[in-house]
């Protein structure tokens, strides 16, 4: 849900949420290290 009413603030809020989701996904995924 978007809590902001102003369109500019809505876009900022969406950007913040996307950044948070990406951060949590990065923390949750395993880091692949190639050993040759």
1-26 confidence digits (pLDDT tens) = 778 889 899 999 999 999 999 888 88
Q: How far is CA 24 from the centre of its chain?
A: 7
32 or 15: whose pLDDT is higher? Answer: 15
- Is the predicted pLDDT of residue 36 greater than 90, yes or no? no
pLDDT of residue 8: 93
27 or 16: whose pLDDT is higher? Answer: 16
Check: CB of residue 12 under 8 Å from CB of residue 2: no
Q: How far is CA 18 from CA 23, 33, 36, in A?
A: 9, 26, 35
CA–CA separation, 31 and 15 (whole Å): 25
- Give SS3 for 21: helix
Q: Mean per-residue pLDDT for 21-33?
A: 82
CA–CA separation, 2 and 11 (whole Å): 9
């Amino acid at each position: 849900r978007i809590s902001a009413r102003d369109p500019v603030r809505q876009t900022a809020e969406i950007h913040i949420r996307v950044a948070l989701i990406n951060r949590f996904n990065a923390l949750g995924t395993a880091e692949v290290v190639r050993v040759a």
